Amino acid sequence: MQTHKNQLNNVSEKEILKEISSGRYKDFYLIYNRKSTDEPENQKNSIKYQKSENVRFAYKEHLPIASVSLPGFCIDGIISEKHSGFKEDTALLFGKEGTVQYRIDRPKFYQLVQFLSEGYFKGVIFLCWDRASRNRGDDTVIRKLMKQRIDFRFTLASYDKTSSGALHMDIDGMFAEHHSRVTSEKVSLNIKYKRDQGFCTHKAPVGYQNLGNMEHKPFDPVRAPVVKKMFELYATGNWSLADIVRYAIEQGFTMTPTRRQKTKEERQMEEEDDITIEPEAVCRIPTFNNIHKILVNRFYTGEVINSNGEFIPSKSHEALVSKKLFEQVQGLLNKKNKSVHYIERLDYPMRGLVHCKVCGRVYTPYEKKGITYFGSRCARDCPNKKKNINIRYLSEQIDGILNALYFTEKELARLAATESTDIALFEIKRHSQLELNENKKKKIREDLAYINSNRLTLLKTGAYSPETIVAEEKDLNDKLAVLQDEESTSDASMRETMKEIIKLSELLETVYSYYENANPYEKEIIIKKIFSELKLDETGLKYKVKKEFEPFEKRFIAPWVLKGWLSETIQYANLFKLVIKDLEIYIQDKELHI
């Protein structure tokens, strides 16, 4: 093994990739072995077992194995990977001309199918279908490669090149996925059931022992007495958290042993040699935050959280401290908790602009390693997992929205073609509507005049009561007000409105060009001019533009929609005038300072 690694070091990865892409191995096969992280105890599917069976199958079938070794991918044509075949990335990216991008989670499998699609290898050998895939997404990739005449071989199964063989393959793929679904469902249901029964389904905190089962979490004979003493000392009110930390260290108290993360080389060695490398566990001294987390953890009162987020009596462990002592500690902690109030608010761009789409809480700016981020402390039950974004992500999302807000050349051409036909028809219709409204107004005024001049007669004869005559007057006045509003709206010419909306589109395009080159503070000004609402969730940024920009957001998408869109824009005529003036002032100011 050591000699082989030395040979790998003598040949650079770039040279190996060049050799592969040259077509040297196009008549050779690779072997792919996968051990599922969901089945650590299944020795039948161990890497060692798969290697021996697959090599034996290749020898029996006279399938030449490529003698290629690529660091982090394969050794002597044999790929070994420890990864779940069931879990898949659900995100899709839709590109141009009908393309859909799908992310493969398994890094070595991804590299394998990429090489196969390029025709660098003739085929690949798996132990069985469920070692190749256990989800529909990866199934689709494999079947498309099969249609490209890439040879997929399976040691424990053979599929005829017939419809029956294809059905056999479909059934194996279906059962592989079903097996993983059932396993996942059983695990989830078992954990939920145990949690609701009062068992600890997670790692117990310091002071308790984790023996590998959720039914029994006994006291740690060394650490438990010190943890209990920490609660008792703090409850006196004479000890600060810093004092408790010093006391714990003096008693030789350490946190539960933890291991460092495995290096990339160690993970690859595990995959290739089917061994388990466990870095040495280290006991670290407690920090201020460690002690605070201990003192606020209700686990020490003998309670656990059920699946509804409620605390219930535990069947896995005994209480280390009484509830009375715990609540006494919480009271002191809350009393000594001081909120930080800044004399001056820190100056960050885009503060208060973005809110969580689910719970509505604001994303607050903060700086880390010179980069501005936005973080949301969402409500406890908020399902939004996108808690943090950086300023670049926010700027790019808004950039895409602004870029789509103004008219394209094709849309402007359609508007120009419409101006000579549909707008003329709208003008005729508008004048007809004005004449009709004038007749309605005349009739309402006559009715009001009749009521005023004959009020006493109408009341004496009993034709109207005082209440009904007042209601009738109000109804007529309301109708008159509506007609007057329609008339003032209709006073705007459709042609003038179209000129204004095209002018506004040009201004938006200019503003977008400024946005692209603006600093974060300048971008904030532009965002506030155009957007009334910005909300964020896992799917991305959601927005609402101000009312005057709604026609651009809701603009026509088909020729028959254009007429409806044109008739609606007339109601925005007054708003267009105001926003055009505002943007012109902004652009003039920018040009003066360039």
- The answer on 364 and 301 residing in a single domain is no
Helix, strand or coil for residue 126? strand
Please report, for the domain that includes residue 16, its CATH number: 3.40.50.1390
Contacts of 7 (CB under 8 A, 6+ apart): 69
pLDDT tens column, 22-71: 999 999 999 999 887 655 455 456 888 888 888 888 888 899 999 998 88
Q: Where are the beta strands (DSSP E) in 264-422?
A: 303-305, 311-313, 354-356, 364-368, 371-375, 388-390
The answer on 157 and 60 residing in a single domain is: yes
Residue 318 in any domain: the answer is: yes
**Is the predicted pLDDT of residue 5 greater than 50, yes or no?**
no
Q: Are residues 358 and 501 both part of a single domain?
A: no
Question: pLDDT-derived band of residue 447, with 50, 70 and 90 as boundaries?
Answer: confident
SS3 letters across 462-505: CCCCHHHHHHHHHHHHHHHHHHHHHHHHHCCCHHHHHHHHHHHH
In degrees, rounded to 5, the angle at the alpha carbon of residue 552 between the alpha carbons of residues 551 and 556 is 80
345, part of any domain: no
Whether 194 is covered by a domain: the verdict is no
Using DSSP's 3-state secondary structure scheme, residue 366 falls into strand
Mean pLDDT of 187-207: 88
**Average pLDDT rounded to a whole number, residues 549-567:** 67
Average pLDDT (109-128) is 91
- pLDDT over 90 at 226, yes or no: yes
Q: What is the pLDDT of residue 489?
A: 47
**pLDDT for residue 448:** 75
Give the model's confidence band at 87: pLDDT under 50 very low, under 70 low, under 90 confident, else very high. low
Q: Are residues 151 and 281 in the same domain?
A: no
The CATH number that applies at residue 276 is: 3.90.1750.20
Three-state secondary structure string covering 290-319: HHHHHHCCHHHHCEEECCCCCEEECCCCCC
Of 180, 208, 238, which marks where a domain is finished? Answer: 180
Q: Do 375 and 251 share a domain, yes or no? A: no
Residue 567, domain member (yes or no)? yes
Same domain, 414 and 391: no
**Pair (326, 234) in one structural domain:** yes
Residue 381 or 206, more confident: 206
Residue 92 within any structural domain of the chain: yes
My answer on whether 574 and 433 are in the same domain is yes
Show which of 123, 148, 180 is a domain's final residue.
180
Alpha-carbon torsion 292, 295, 296, 297, what sign?
positive
Q: How far apart are CA 173 and CA 152, in angstroms?
A: 14
pLDDT tens figures, 573-592 = 778 888 889 888 888 887 77
- Between strands 29-35 and 123-126, the pairing is parallel
pLDDT at residue 75 tops 50 = yes
Task: Give yes or no for residue 430 having a pLDDT over 70.
Answer: no
Q: Output the pLDDT for position 137.
A: 80
The answer to whether position 276 is within a domain reads yes
Shared-domain flag, residues 413 and 465: yes
Mean of the per-residue pLDDT values of the chain: 81
- Whether residue 231 has pLDDT greater than 90: yes
381 and 307 assigned to the same domain: no
Same domain? For 375 and 413 the reply is: no
Establish if 218 belongs to a structural domain. no
**How many Å is the maximal CA-CA distance in the chain?**
119
In a domain, 209, yes or no: no
**Residue 65 pLDDT:** 92
Starting at the edge strand that comes first in sequence, how are the strands of the sheet with 123-126 ordered? 78-82, 29-35, 123-126, 151-154
Domain boundary among 180, 215, 250: 180
Helix (H, G, I), strand (E, B) or coil at 537: strand
Domain ranges, residue 564:
409-592
Is 531 a residue whose pLDDT tops 60? Answer: yes
**Is this prediction's pTM over 0.75?**
no
Domain count, the chain: 4
- State whether 545 and 522 are in the same domain: yes
pLDDT digits (tens, 9 = 90+) for 352-397: 899 999 899 999 888 888 888 999 988 888 888 888 999 999 999 9
**pLDDT at residue 8, rounded to an integer:** 47
Q: pLDDT tens, 129-183?
A: 888 887 778 888 888 898 889 999 999 888 888 888 778 877 877 777 777 777 7
What does each C-alpha distance from 561 to 189, 266, 416, 545 come to in angstroms? 51, 61, 16, 21
